[in-house]
Structures are given as structure tokens and as C-alpha cells.
Amino acid sequence: MSGECFHCGQPVPPGVDLKVTVDGTPRAMCCRGCQAVAEAIVANHLEDYYRHRTAPPATPQELVPDALRQLAVYDHPDIQKSFVVDAGEHLREAVLILEGITCAACIWLNERHLMQLPGVKGVNVNYASHRARILWDEREISLSKILAEIRLLGYSAHPFSAHAADTLRRARRASDLRRLFVAGLASAQVMMFAIALYAGAYYYDMDHGTAQLMRWASLLLSIPVVFYSAIPFYRGARSALRTGHLNMDVPVTLAVLAGFFGSAWVTWRGEGVVYYDTITMFVFILLASRFLEQGAREKSVEAAENLLKLAPAMATRLREEKAEVVPVLELAVDDLILVRPGEAVAADGVVIEGESSTDEALLTGESRPVPKRPGDAVIAGSINLEGPLKVRVTGVGENTVLAGIVRLLDRAQAQKPRLAMLADRVAAYFTAFLLLLALATGIGWYWVDPGRVFEIVLAVLVVTCPCALSIAAPAAIAAAASSLLKRGILLTRGHALETLARVDHVVLDKTGTLTHGRPTLERVIPLAGMEAAQAKLLAASLEQASEHPLAASFLAAVEGRACLPVALPQNLPGQGVAGTIGGVRYTLGSARLLKETPQLPQAADWPAGATVVWLAVEGKPLAAFVLADRLRPEAGELMERLKALGVGASILSGDDEAAVRHVAETLGVADWHARARPEDKLAKLQALQAAGRVVAMVGDGVNDAPVLAAAQVSIAMGGGTQVARASSDIVLLSENLLDVARALATGRGAIAILKSNFAWAVGYNVLALPFAVLGYIPPWLAAIGMSASSLIVVLNALRLR
């Protein structure tokens, strides 16, 4: 039975025959995980999800009991202190970030399912930021249960502790919105009165009283605009002038204030032309463009914030032989902590006692266990795999490696692309020139026709405002970033976009990037009269009992049958696992556990780079399992697209030659290196750069931080390590390799638009200048011209979406 899984869209492996009846029709499922989720959806009458979704969901992971135990930590009051708020008697409220969302229907599914849970009083999910605000009664349900229910559907959620930065951002956005609306409403009204004046007062004879009425009404309505809406510009101008610089806000402030007070003076005197319509429209358009640009930029920041998880921060501290469970925040340097197998290490430290290995996928992206003995250092966040470790703490909280890298992310967010910084500098010089010019124009016209001085200086200030220039780059980048985000490509650094456009060579890691990174069971070879099914069951039970990293692949193969009880499970560091089932002591692991390794006939057929795991009793092999890391299906197409874009590709991997050659040949990549240590990778990268290539590195871990840092653009897979995602320029949230090609194409498009924006902005300013100085442009035309040019720049940028 072949075909596609109805739930996740992945191909159904041969031999798998799982079905769930949805809407009366039996549908094929590819694995127990999808089957469980589909059953949950049907059981809760949420089939609408299947009808409305526009994208396949992320493949659900097995709900290992371990995960449930970890969730229980979230119920601890000390942990909850940082993100749960009291919303009334017995009511609690928290914000969760949902992961695995691929389309709006996913959000709907979660919302509906959670609402149905007894004890959940309110659920509100923000479709844009994937954040859910949940209100629950703590007497009826616990937070860990809520999180478990979300896991049941195949998604995962983690709490979001409202960063101060986030609250600040929201408040600022709200106030920007209010200013914008006030400016919009007022300018609409003022323009109406202006039409009356143009229609009647300036060219025909409107009686004085009516004209004055119009002027005073316009003045009154301009007051909220000038004294409330335009405040951000005044602040900007003041801070610039204080540091002795000029920025775009200075001419804007001058124009608005001069226009208002000049017009007020005219209104008082009772005759002349007033310019309230000019200045209100001016302020409105400027606020609108800045708001749009900020909004798009904030989306990226929010998405990046979602990547930082609140680690369940509890640790077991040892004090005078007593073990107590404390929040990590309370740990201090030189404290002794106990890390049990399966737990995450709570802080940076040094091993004092115990022998085990840790999963530093956090930093390296590879789940290969790193052996640890007394004297070795361990990193906060890595997972202890085999045996208990006593660790002396050397770094806590902000001082951990992890926190340091998160700080890098924060700092990097503020970085601007080189082109935009150039634009800012040009704008500063231009502004200075403009102000001098306005002054000169004013003086000049004073000699010629003093009555027109005010009007012409105002027109000059307004029409030559370099706001189009300042918006050109941010608008293009924000639009590009937002269109990329829609496709699941997160741009964490602005500069990445312009560098991306120049990339002409891509270096790819193998494990976890070109391949799934998770070994899958390819073949079972039973020996010595054993049956394949029985062998699988034994292996799965052994793996499950010792929480070995390979457990997931064996469990998937066993498909729903319960594992056998295992007594005395034991981890053999670097070799495998052992356990007693039904009185017989089995071992499952590398060939080193066997007394002699039999020659397997089909060895030639195996995919290169496959690992063989042996099930044995007392060194005599009973079965062999072939595990291989499957290539991602879209890898081949990625290579074709890269070729079409004119971009070269290389594969650098720490894995052994056979495996890497196999992958390279399958994909048609000529340049590949195996057994590459970090230094080798770095050397190769630098060689490419020395040859003048602009290199993008795609990896799933910060594997080899120096290499990723050396590459001009670093791209991380979304499922990779937290640290990798935090420190890469681009994160592929959807884990689809084709996104690499898409990102490159979008980068090139964005730069093209950015350049055309610049050309237009500069050209317009230069062209309009002489006309304004010579008095051919009345202020209202100036306002329209400036607004139109800003709008054109923004619209041009929107073409990227």
C-alpha cells in the first residue's frame, strides 16, 4: 500500500498500513504519530481542520513519556512566576508560543481543541505571531496538561515570558497607530476646508467671514496633528541636533512648525494663504510610511523572539549530601548539581564525578554523544545521556555560553545593511545642504518679492525632504523580509539580504542539512533462526528502556505494539545498550560487542554510510539492523535550482568518505570533502573566499562556530539547535531545502528594487529642487509631490511581497 499520508503528506513507507476514518472515508497514515493525531482530531470533531488547511503540518513526534515528565516542570510555582499571571481567583493566564504551525487551520485546530478542555476558560491565538493567550482554572486543569494536549495534536508550545522589549514594542506600536489615525482624520477634514478656500477664497470672492471660518477651523484641526501626531519627528530632530548631526526629522520638524505658525499668523491677520492642508498631509503620509516599515520589521523580530525558549529551569542541587530541587536562578558558581540521565544540564560546569556522555546538539547540531569524564566541561542546555553526573557549576544564567549567543542575536538585530547606512549618511549631508538652500532661497526671495518668501521656503522644505531616500532601503528590506517570512524563511539580520544577493557559492553540511539527521531503520537482517518482527521488538524495548538517542527510529519500526519489559537496562558508553528481557541478557550495539562479526551477504546493497547495529546474546549475533540517514527529498531539486541561479555548491562534512561520496554523487555535486574537522572546513571556506566567491553556509548546528561566522551568510535549518538558529543570519523555519534557493532569488530581487528605489528618490529630489527654488511649486503641490514619491518608493518595495 503506497501513497501519501493524509495527515502530513509524507509518502507512506512500504509495509505500513495504518488507517483513520475521517469524514466517513478511511485515510492512509504514514506512522503512529500521524495516526494518533488524526484520531485525536476526529475524536474531538475537528475535521474542519482538514477541510480548511492550506499547508501540510509538521510531522508529529512520538510522545515519549520522557517529554511528559519534562512538561510537569511547568507546573512548579517558581517556574510559573516568570510567565504566568493571576487573572482572578483560581484563574491563571499565560502566553504560549505555538510551534509547528504551517497555516491558519493549524491555529484554528489548536484554538478549538484547547477550548474544549475542561478548565480552560479562554483561548485567544494571534494568527500573525503564533502566540496564544490562555486562561485556565487551576483547580480543573494544569498547565502541563494543556501543553500535553497541544503535543497530542502534533504541535508543541512553550511559554513566552513577556520580554520587556516586547511590551515596549507593543506600547509603541499602539501609540504610533493612534498618532497615525489622528493625523489621518484631521488631514482629511483640513483638506476639505482647504478645498473650500481654493474654490472660493483664493481665486474668487468668498466673503471674509466664511473664509476666516475655514481658516480657523483648519487651525483648530491642525493642532492635534502638530502637537500630538508629529511629536516623534520633533523627538528625532532634537536627539539628532543634540549630538550635532542632522537627520531626516530636522527638515520635517522645520516644515511642520514653520508651516503651522506661519499659517496661524496669517489666520490671525485675516488674509493670505494658509498651508494647514500641506502640513497635515505631510505628517500623515510620513507617519504612514514609517508605520508600515516598522510593522514589517517587527514581524521578523517577533519571529526571532519565538525561537528563544524558556528552558525548564530546575536543577538538583547537592548540599551536604542532600539533594534538593531548586530553580536554576538560585544556582551559584561552585554549587554542586546532580544531572541524571535524560535531564538537561542546568548550567555550565565541570564534571566532578561520574562517567557519561552528553548530547551537545545544542551547539554542534549532531546528536553524537560526547563522552564526559571527571574534569571535562559540560554546557548548559546539553542533555546527559548515559549515567548520572555530579557537576560543579562554573557559569549560570547570563554567564552561560547559551546566554552569550542569545545576546549576540539581540545585538545583531540592530545591525543595518551597509546600503541603508550609506543612505543615512547621504541623507544627513543632503539635509544640511537642503537647509542651507532653504535659507538662501528665503534670503534671495526677500529681496525680490518679500510676500512670497514664506510660501516658497515652505515649498522648498517640503518638496526636497529626503524622506523618500531614507525610506527606500528600509521599505525594500522590510517588504522582502516579510515576504520571506510568509514562506517560512526568517531573516534575523538585515544585512543578510544584501549579502545574499551577491552569493555565488553555497557550502552545505551533510548530516541534518542535506539529510534528515535522524537515522532511520532501513533493513532488519535476522540471523540464527530469529524472526525479524521479534528482533525489532527486542531492539525497540532495549532502546526505549535506556532512552538512547536511536530509540526513536526503532520505536517507529515497531508500530504500536507494546514494548517488552526490560530489567536492568544498562548503557554501555560508546558501544550501545544492554538489558534483560524474559531472563535473557541481550546487547544491542556496535560490532565491538560481538565475539566475532559475521560477514553479511547484502552489504554491497546498503546505502553508503549506513551504520550496522547488532542484537546479540553473550556476543553471539541474533540480528543486524541497518540504519541510514535518509537524504531530504528536495535536495536534488535544490541543486538544480542553484545551478539555474548560477550558484556553485560544495559539501563539507565530518562524516566518513563513503557516506559523503554517496550523497555527493546522488546530488551531482563535484566538490565535496569528508572527514572535515572544523579547521578543515574553515580552510576550505577561506580558500573559496580568497578566490573571490561570496559564500553562504547552510548547516543545522552552530557546528563549528568559526566557519559559520566566516561565511558571509549563514543559514540554519529550523529544526536545528537553538544556538544555531540564534546566531545565523537566516533560519529556514520550514526545514525545506528549496528555501535556500528561494532566499537567494528573493535577495537578488530585493536588491534590484532597492537600487531602483534609490534611483527614483535621488532623481526626484534633484529634479524638483530647481523648480521649488524658483517658485514654481506652490506648497500644496510640494506636499503632494513629496508624498507621492514616498508612496512610490513604498509601493515599489511592496512588489516584493
Q: Which residues contact other proteins (rule: CB under 8 A)?
A: 23-24, 45, 47-48, 51-52, 104-105, 107-108, 112, 115-116, 125-129, 170, 173-174, 177-178, 181-182, 185-186, 189, 193, 209-210, 213, 217, 220-221, 224
The rounded Cα 610 to chain-centroid distance in angstroms is: 33
Report in angstroms how near the CB of residue 273 gets to other proteins at its nearest: 20
CA separation for the pair 453, 681 (Å, rounded): 67
Q: Which residues contact 338 (CB under 8 A, 6 or more apart)?
A: 316, 317, 318, 323, 388, 389, 390, 391
Comparison of 47 and 138: residue with beta carbon closer to other proteins: 47
Q: What distance in Å separates the CA atoms of residue 112 and residue 135, rounded to the nearest whole number?
A: 14
How far is C-alpha 411 from the geometric centre of its chain's CA atoms? 16
Q: How far is the CB of 126 from other proteins (least distance, A)?
A: 4
Q: Which residues pair with 85 in a beta bridge?
A: 93
Question: How far are the Cα atoms of 70, 326, 781 from residue 315, in angstroms, in the given order?
Answer: 12, 6, 68
Residue 296 to residue 484: CA distance in whole angstroms: 11
634 membership: H or E segment, kind and range: none
Q: Which is nearer to other proteins, 113 or 158 (CB)?
A: 113
* Shortest distance, position 130 Cβ to other proteins, whole Å: 10
* Of residues 470 and 482, the one with the C-beta less far from other proteins: 482
Cβ atoms within 10 Å, residue 657: 14
Contact 463, 772 (CB under 8 A): yes
Q: Residue with C-alpha cell 551537545?
A: 360
Q: How far is the CB of 112 from other proteins (least distance, A)?
A: 7
- As a whole number of angstroms, the distance between CA 478 and CA 599 comes to 59
Q: Cβ distance 246 to 431 under 8 Å?
A: yes
Query: Do residues 10 and 59 touch, judged by C-beta distance below 8 A?
Result: yes
Which amino acid would we find at residue 288? A
Phi-psi region of 365 (alpha: psi -120 to 50; beta: other; left: phi over 0): left
CB of 185 to other proteins, least distance (A): 6
Q: Distance between terminal CA atoms of the chain?
A: 41
Q: How far is Cα 175 from Cα 291, in angstroms, rounded to an integer? A: 11
What gap in Å lies between CA 463 and CA 130, rounded to an integer?
42
Helix (H, G, I), strand (E, B) or coil at 753: helix
Indicate the residue among 34 and 221 with the shorter CB distance to other proteins: 221
Smaller CB separation from other proteins, 128 or 528: 128
- Give me the least distance between CB of 105 and other proteins, in Å please: 8
Question: Any catalytic annotation for residue 509?
Answer: yes
Q: How far is the CB of 505 from other proteins (least distance, A)?
A: 37
**Measured from the CB atom, is 166 or 386 closer to other proteins?**
166
Q: Tell me which of 166, 348, 359, 509 is the catalytic residue.
A: 509
Q: Which is nearer to other proteins, 42 or 73 (CB)?
A: 42
Instruction: Please state the closest distance from residue 441 (CB atom) to other proteins, in A.
Output: 35
Which of 623, 605, 626, 622 lies closest to 553 in space, CA to CA? Answer: 626
Decide whether 368 or 801 has the Cβ nearer to other proteins: 801
Work out how close the CB of 231 gets to other proteins at its nearest, in angstroms, rounded to a whole number: 16
State in angstroms the smallest separation of the CB of 121 from other proteins.
Answer: 14
CB of 186 to other proteins, least distance (A): 7
State the SS3 of 670-711.
Answer: CEEECCCCHHHHHHHHHHHHHCCCCEEEEECCCCCHHHHHHC
> d(Cα 294, Cα 284) in Å, to the nearest integer?
15
Q: In what order do the strands lie in the sheet with 370-372?
A: 370-372, 356-359, 383-384
**Could you tell me the three cell numbers for 338?**
546532580
Residue 584 · residue 615 · CB < 8 Å:
no
Nearer to other proteins, 193 or 672 (CB): 193
* Strand 584-589 to 25-29 pairing: unpaired
Helix (H, G, I), strand (E, B) or coil at 106: helix
Amino acid, single-letter form, for residue 124: N
CB of 278 vs other proteins, minimal distance in Å:
19
Query: CB-wise, 47 or 376, nearer to other proteins?
Result: 47
Task: In whole angstroms, give the CA distance from residue 390 to residue 371.
Answer: 14
Residue 373 CA to residue 392 CA, distance in Å, equals 13
Q: Backbone dihedral region of 386: left (phi > 0), alpha (psi from -120 to 50 degrees) or beta?
A: alpha
Residue 6 or 672 with smaller CB distance to other proteins: 6
Distance, CA of 695 to CA of 683 (rounded, Å):
13
In whole angstroms, how close is the CB of 45 to other proteins at the nearest point? 5
Nearer to other proteins, 52 or 561 (CB): 52
Beta carbon nearer to other proteins, 217 or 266: 217
**Burial class (CB within 10 angstroms; exposed 0-12, middle 13-18, buried 19+) of 355:** middle
Nearest alpha-carbon partner for 650 in 755, 538, 509? 509
The one-letter amino acid code at 778 reads P
| Location of C-alpha cell 484547547 | 114
* Strand 695-699 relative to strand 584-589, pairing: unpaired
- The contacts of residue 253 (CB under 8 Å, 6+ apart) are 230, 233, 234, 236, 237
Positions marked catalytic = 509
